[in-house]
Amino acid sequence: MTRHLYLRLAVGNIKNNRRFYFPFLLTAILTVACFFIMMSTSQSPTLPGGETTRIVMYLGDIIVALFSVIFLYYTNSFLIKRRKKELGLYNILGLEKRHMAKVLCWETVLSGLIAIGLGLGLGALLDRLMYLLLLNLLRFDVSMTYTFLPRVAILTGALFAAVFLLLLLSNLIQVGRAKPIELLRGGQ
């Protein structure tokens, strides 16, 4: 019963704060799609150019992963900063911090599922186009064979699930340490 209450609160919060959540979700979806495309290209069995091209692409995977984490952390900090006043009001009205933590957990799970699901879908749609563009830029013969690699989707999903877990922990620490008055002034 109470789990459904927290889920409904989380869905309501996402809907009511859509002007803050939309940029965050859009950023997360595009970040997941970019990482999936980069990883899929580097893992492609038909990638020409030998070992040097593969090494450069693997380094690109690492760099895109690092920038993804930094970028999502930055947009999440913007989101949580805008929501601190609302969370402080919840606290003053009687919602304990452990209850707010459950609501934040559901919000993170929902936003993570949306971002990873839509990001993988968008990445799979644009993957072949980016691969052909890379081959054209490198002046290799362009072939129309497409190979969807499930391990790339699994690795991408696992990476971004871990990122959303880190974002949740960061949010819980910020809200847990703050006093209700600090939360009320947090949006300033």
- Give the span between the Cα atoms of 110 and 107, in whole angstroms: 5
Question: What integer pLDDT is reported at residue 121 of this predicted model?
Answer: 92
- How confident is the model over 84-126, as pLDDT tens digits? 777 777 777 777 878 888 888 998 999 999 999 999 999 988 8
Q: What is the mean pLDDT of residues 9-25?
A: 85
- Give the span between the Cα atoms of 98 and 28, in whole angstroms: 26
User: Token pair for residue 125?
Assistant: 């749609």
Question: What integer pLDDT is reported at residue 146 of this predicted model?
Answer: 61
- Give the span between the Cα atoms of 77 and 66, in whole angstroms: 17
- How confident is the model over 35-54, as pLDDT tens digits? 998 888 787 776 666 677 77
- How confident is the model over 134-176, as pLDDT tens digits? 667 766 665 656 677 789 899 999 999 999 999 999 988 887 7
